[in-house]
Structure 1
Amino acid sequence: MNGPYTDGQSPSFEEKVGLLDERSLSSDSESDNGVIDLDSHLPLMKWVAYLLSPIGFLRSLHWRASVIRFVWFFIPSFLQGRQMREQIRPSKIHPTAYLDGMRGLAALFVFFCHYTYQGFSIAFAWGFDNTNYQFMKLPIIRLWYSGPASVSIFFVISGYALSYRPIKLIRSRNTKEFSNAMASTVFRRFIRLFAPTTISTFVIFCLIRLGFYELTRDFAKDKTYHRNVVEPHPARFANGWNQLCDWIWATFNMIHVFGWEEQGGRNPYDVHLWTIPIEYRCSLYLFLVIVGTARLRTTWRYMTLLTVMGVTYRKSRWELLMFFFGMALAEWDHIRAAHVSHAVLPISEKQAKPRRNILGQIFWNLVCILGLYLLSFPDDGWGKTPGWVYLSTWIPEWWVGAKFRFWQGIGAVVFIIGVSRSSLFKRFFNSGVVQYFGKISYALYLMHGPVMHVIGYHWENLAWSITGVDGEWYTVGWVLGACFCVPSVIWCADIFWRAVDIPTVKFAKWLESKVVIKED
């Protein structure tokens, strides 16, 4: 994202928002400062001596610097000094960087959901059936472990990010650059989504064959500790070849674009990746709508999009509807020039502006709170839960999808609209810590499952062996385990981000540059 790009290689907005910052890590030349180049300084006779002496030859190598770089790579990026901190949160951030931070927290909350639901029932909200009066189940408070609500936010942001630049080019009537940008986005989308998942599940395959999953297999299915949802480990085949064939088929099966089955393409090696086939399928539909409406005037493009959204809504395709909402919001931001610097206002207008700004900010902060409340719609038991009974009657009877997706989806859209106008919420999502989670969001989503099973279960087992599982001590042990499991997941996600996520984007760009038709 730094430096000039050719038309065919311009960075898509998807890569700027919520995926990663593609600036390269420290180069070898920067890392080797102070290391003497023996090739240019040692006399010929000394090189002959080194060739005759293997030990001397090894001493002549730059292995110390290589080892240091290798070890240093495993240090979390936020501890690696100013250069990496600048990569995480540049001094000048993109106007829509708040979406990056929002997606990062959503990924973190999905992890919290999968850590929490194994020990506690989280589908029911505060007051369900005159029970569940715990503080953590109150609306908005419960969002920190609400995975389904976070998924709705994922899909709206993906629709926005994938649409933003194409719509900008459409509105500027730059037909040539639009066609290049769309071709590039479509070509790289598959690699962007499935290359990291292939690598992450292959790592799981290797860990299974090496026996690491066997160390916690009994713990994973022990109802003494996992009292609610049991996430069994992937099966370990007796034959390694059969296991490899099974992994290959599971990886191939994730490319699920020809059906709408519930969690179609689910990968048994990491059951949390069921959203990735949906992301890809909905992306293709979104690209089709963008291209199909590219030559329409703004009014007719909006009318066409609203018609498509109406059909999608009637068909209960909530996930695709979220993508289309993202496209609609992206175009609306372009219409209102949300991310364009405005000219200096006259003095008279400046004097009247502060009062309007204060009232406007109060209004949009309230819109954000409304969105958070709707996102808190319970996954189950809404008909017997205070605060949700009336809203549940508004869910159409013909809605064949999961009922809770209806209001959670609306809440995601309302919240993102509110945040786009709220300086308070934007400031929060643009903060350094939140932006960091935005950078590692995809890596965090891919890594939290295997790390939780291979490393996290050891921490939980150790914690409960100290606290016991009787009464409130069960919760104490759960919290103690989280104190070690959460940092472990973040650390591994940070490594995966730098080792796989960033190189994947670079590889997709490199591959595209090698196979596209060169312009004259």
Structure 2
Amino acid sequence: MNGFAVSRGSLSYEEKLSLIDDRSLSDVESESARAELDGRFSHIQWAATAKTYCNGFRLSSWSSSLLRIGMFLLPSFIQHRCARERFRTEKLHPTAYLDGMRGLAALFVFFCHYFYTAFKVAEGWGHDNANYEIWRLPFIRLLYSGPSMVCVFFIISGYALSLKPLKQARSRSLDGLSNTMTSFVFRRFFRLYLPPMISTFGVLILLRFGIYEMTRDFVNDRKYVHNVIEHHPVLEETTQKQLRHWVREMYDFVHVWGWEKFGGATGYDVHLWTIPVEFRCSMMLFLVMIGTANLRTGVRFFCLACIMWFVLRSDRWEMVLFLWGMAIAELDLIRGAHEPSPSQQPSPPPATLLPLDSTPSTTPERRSPCNFLWTLLTIPALYLMSEPDAGPAGVPGWDYLGTLIPEWFSDKYRYYQMIGSIIFVFCTARSISWQRAFNSAPVQYFGRISYALYLMHGPVLHTVGFLVEKRVLDWTGTEGNRYTWGFILASVINIPLVIWAADIFWRAVDAPVVRFTKWLEGKLSIQD
């Protein structure tokens, strides 16, 4: 199927699900694929709106171009309001709640990387009889717990990448499974790596224009940075050396030959270490799915359990999460979680991205009698996800749990975060209450821009964000409560700034990459 020719009415429900189901944390193909499916980019809203204004005012070509650029730079939900399009209450696909979950996870990862430069967010409440601030308490700390959110990312990735192949394997559609797996393997590299390569090349350009030099002193100044000093991209002597350095970094970024911690991390954006992890785990997951596709369901689960034990014992927590995503996906298929009733047949997603209306009717009409139980079980799951990033030692409520972590498990702080994330995703798949929350319009918006948010928050913070923070802190002061209130005031500017940049990157880069990858596959594939 040509990725540039998808129309809203030409796809069946199964075909739409086949595109939607190919997604992941950083892959985040769901939101971008959905953007492709619902025609937002085949009927470019901002361009149509700008054209209407231009025709109405009979502007010159220069004025028209400037107006179109200005319209494009507006956040997508504001464009909707400018165009005065009416929001239509329509239903999303059955796993839309995973998009919302991933969107909030990406937002909280951004909060983690933003807050840990100023505050010691890794330490738990009462760590070594100190640090009794309320924001360190379990549950509350999840709002900025990056490592826990990464665990959620990986489970969703395993789930999303497994759903369609498992559905085909269970229906004995082996020819379809073969086509799906070859498509997934081919597109995976482009989908994961093209957006960060573009974003880091943008960092290179900003470096050469001296934008990063404006904040280099700030990054290393303990007057302003009270906790983590994050790596600032290196400025080479010449543009040619900078390009060579970037090419070497991108070569190392495609890190498939080793599993060491943070392998493949690039100095142009240190937050992107999870992308090579995603790629490696995806390839391993594809191998497991192909190897178990022809097995009976019970045998497949037994083999999957053995592989999980081996992987866990080998201290590969990230692969454990991917495999659990696969297991949860098949359990959902077994219980028919993705079989909509006639009244729940999905229509095209709404044209708006952040409607004023109440939550779209995307959740099942009937409440499961066990809904309360599954929702209740997420409470201990969230507590386990709240394990302090500095480790459980010396933290009330975690000292004893820390003694139960196996000695061979190296990243002690990830142990309960991993377990809690698995339980939370498993229970959420059965909790209508949680699904309704994740299917709400604002949360779904963050789901759509989640990959862009992940890629953009580092460059924006290291440039404009730190400039804003410095100006505000110079005004409020850098000691005690003055520092805290100054940081909060800077956040009022910086958080919307990052979301705005992510919105633009999503429309300008992320969604076109999805379409390009689909188009490229169609052009290079053998035609029947």
| TM-score using structure 1 length | 0.88
Q: Structure 1 residue 140: deviation in Å? A: 0.6
- Tell me, in whole angstroms, the C-alpha distance in 2 between the residues paired with 1:336 and 1:93: 20
2:440 corresponds to 1:431: yes
Q: Distance in 1 between matches of 2:423 and 2:83?
A: 34
Task: Call closer, same or farther: CA 1:32–1:311 in 2, change over 3 Å.
Answer: same
CA 1:193–1:366 in 2, change beyond 3 Å: closer, same or farther? same
- Which position in structure 1 is the counterpart of 2:72? 73
In the TM superposition, 1:346-385 aligns within 5 A as: 360-385=370-395
Tell me the residue number matched to 1:503: 512
AA aligned to 2:394 is: K
Matched, 1:227 2:226: yes
**Matching residue's letter, 2:95:** T
Give the 3-state SS of the residue equivalent to 1:133 in structure 2.
coil
Aligned amino acid, residue 245 of structure 1 = R
Using the aligned pairs only, state the percent identity: 49
1:305 Cα deviation after fit = 0.9
**1:125-136 alignment to 2 at 5 Å?**
125-136=124-135
Indicate how the Cα distance of structure 1 residues 402 and 131 shifts in structure 2: closer, same or farther if over 3 A, else same. Answer: same
The amino acid that maps onto 2:520 is L
Q: Indicate the residue corresponding to 1:448 in structure 2.
A: 457
Question: Counterpart of 1:237 in 2: which secondary structure?
Answer: coil
Does 200-209 or 85-94 show the bigger shift?
Answer: 85-94
Residues 1:494 and 1:60: Cα distance change in structure 2 (over 3 Å): closer
State the alpha-carbon separation in 2 of the partners of residues 444 and 238 from structure 1: 31
| 2:19 paired residue among 11, 31, 36 | 11
User: What aligned pairs does 1:319-330 form with structure 2 within 5 A after superposition?
Assistant: 319-330=318-329
User: After superposition, where does 1:146-185 map in structure 2 within 5 Å?
Assistant: 146-185=145-184
AA aligned to 1:282 is C
Query: What is the CA-CA distance between 1:183 and the residue it aligns to?
Result: 1.0
Q: In the alignment, is residue 260 of structure 1 matched against residue 259 of structure 2?
A: yes
| Post-superposition offset of 1:77 | 0.4
Given that 1:309 and 1:324 are in contact with CA atoms closer than 8 Å, whether structure 2 keeps it comes out as yes
For each residue in 1:150-199, what CA deviation from the matched residue of structure 2 results, as whole angstroms up to 9, or x when unmatched?
00000000000000111111111112221111111111111001000000
CA spacing shift, 1:87–1:186, aligned 2, 3 Å: farther
Are residues 1:24 and 2:68 paired? Answer: no
Displacement of 1:87 in angstroms is 12
Partner of 2:272: 273
Q: Distance in 2 between matches of 1:504 and 1:441?
A: 15
Corresponding letter in the other structure for 2:293: A
Equivalents in 2 of 1:370, 1:88: separation in Å? 38
Distance 1:85 1:169 in 2: 42
Per the TM alignment, residue 17 of structure 1 is displaced from its structure 2 partner at its CA by 3.5
Name the counterpart of 2:119: 120
Distance 1:85 1:367 in 2: 43
Give ranges in structure 1 of 5+ residues lacking alignment: 37-58, 345-355
Secondary structure of the structure 2 residue equivalent to 1:383? coil
In the TM superposition, what are the counterparts of 1:390-429 in structure 2 within 5 Å? Answer: 390-399=400-409, 401-429=410-438
Shift in alpha-carbon separation, 1:83–1:258, aligned structure 2, 3 A: farther
- Cα distance in 2 for partners of 1:518, 1:361 equals 47
CA distance in 1, matches of 2:31, 2:216: 34
Deviation of the 1:65 alpha carbon: 3.6
In structure 1, C-alpha distance between the alignment counterparts of 2:519 and 2:19, rounded to whole Å? 12
Equivalences for residues 470-485 of structure 1 within 5 A: 470-485=479-494
- Where 1:228 maps in the other structure, the secondary structure is coil
In 1, the alpha carbon distance for the partners of 2:318 and 2:210 equals 37
Structure 2's unaligned 5+ residue stretches are 1-5, 24-28, 344-365
Conserved 8 A contact 1:88-1:436: no
Cα distance change on mapping 1:377 and 1:11 into 2, 3 Å: same
Deviation at 1:82, TM superposition (A): 6.0
| Distance in 2 (alpha carbons) for counterparts of 1:500 and 1:85 | 25
Per the TM alignment, residue 83 of structure 1 is displaced from its structure 2 partner at its CA by: 10
The answer on whether the counterparts of 1:221 and 1:232 sit within 8 Å (CA) in structure 2 is no
Separation in 2 of the partners of 1:118 and 1:88? Answer: 40
The root-mean-square deviation of aligned C-alpha atoms, in Å, is 2.6
Q: Quick check: 1:18–1:104 contact (8 Å CA) kept in 2?
A: no
Rounded to whole Å, the distance in 1 between the matches of 2:496 and 2:318 is 31
Alpha-carbon distance in structure 2 between the residues aligned to 1:165 and 1:82: 36
- Say whether 1:513 aligns with 2:512: no
Q: Residue 40 of structure 1 corresponds to which residue in structure 2?
A: none
CA distance in 1, matches of 2:161, 2:485: 43
> Residues 414-445 of structure 1: CA distance to partner in whole angstroms, max 9, x if unpaired?
11111111122111111111111000000000
- Give the Cα–Cα distance (whole angstroms) in 2 for the partners of residues 88 and 269 of structure 1: 40
Q: Tell me the alpha carbon deviations over residues 212-263 of structure 1, each in whole angstroms, 9 at most, x when there is no partner.
A: 0111111111111111100132111111111110001101111111101110
The Cα of 1:275 is off from its aligned counterpart by: 0.4
Q: In 2, Cα distance between the equivalents of 1:83 and 1:155?
A: 37
Question: Residues 64 and 479 of structure 1: is their aligned pair in 2 closer, same or farther, counting only changes over 3 Å?
Answer: same
Change (3 A) 1:437 1:471: same
* Segment of structure 1 superposing worse, 86-95 or 482-491: 86-95
Report the secondary structure of 2:480's partner residue: coil
Structure 1 CA distance for aligned equivalents of residues 492 and 333 of structure 2: 43
- Relative to structure 1, the CA distance from residue 502 to residue 156 in structure 2 (aligned partners, 3 Å threshold; closer, same or farther) is same
Contact map agreement 1:168 1:334 (CA 8 A) in 2? yes
Q: Secondary structure at the match of 1:266?
A: coil
SS in structure 2 at match of 1:11:
helix
Going from structure 1 to structure 2, the CA distance change for 1:60 and 1:221 (only over 3 Å counts) comes to closer
Contact 1:89 1:432 (8 Å CA) reproduced: no
CA deviation string 1:24-62 (max 9, x = no partner): 3334677645877xxxxxxxxxxxxxxxxxxxxxx9975
Provide the C-alpha distance between the structure 2 equivalents of 1:489 and 1:419, rounded to a whole number of angstroms: 28
Task: Write the mapping of 1:192-341 to structure 2, written as runs, cut at 5 A.
Answer: 192-341=191-340
Alignment-derived partner of residue 502 in structure 2 = 493
* SS, match of residue 81 in structure 1: helix
Distance 1:289 1:301 in 2: 10
2:118 equivalent to 1:110: no
Offset at residue 341 of structure 1 (A): 3.4
Contact 1:200 1:446 in 2 (8 A): yes
Shift of the 78–330 alpha-carbon distance from structure 1 to 2, 3 Å rule, reads same
Equivalent-residue separation in structure 2 for 1:322 and 1:86 (angstroms): 41
Distance 2:221 2:502 in 1: 27
Q: Is the 8 A contact 2:391 2:413 kept in 1?
A: no
Deviations 1:305-347 (A, max 9, x none): 1111110011010001100000000000000111223699xxx
**For 1:492 and 1:35, how far apart are their aligned partners in 2?**
25
In 2: Cα distance, 1:503 partner to 1:221 partner: 37
Larger displacement relative to structure 2 (388-397 or 248-257) = 388-397
Q: Which gives a bigger RCO, structure 1 or 2 (Cα 8 Å, sep 6+)?
A: 2
In structure 2, how many angstroms separate the alpha carbons of the residues matched to 1:62 and 1:235?
A: 40
CA contact (8 A) 1:88 1:439 kept: no
Aligned partners of 1:90, 1:256: CA distance in 2, in Å?
43
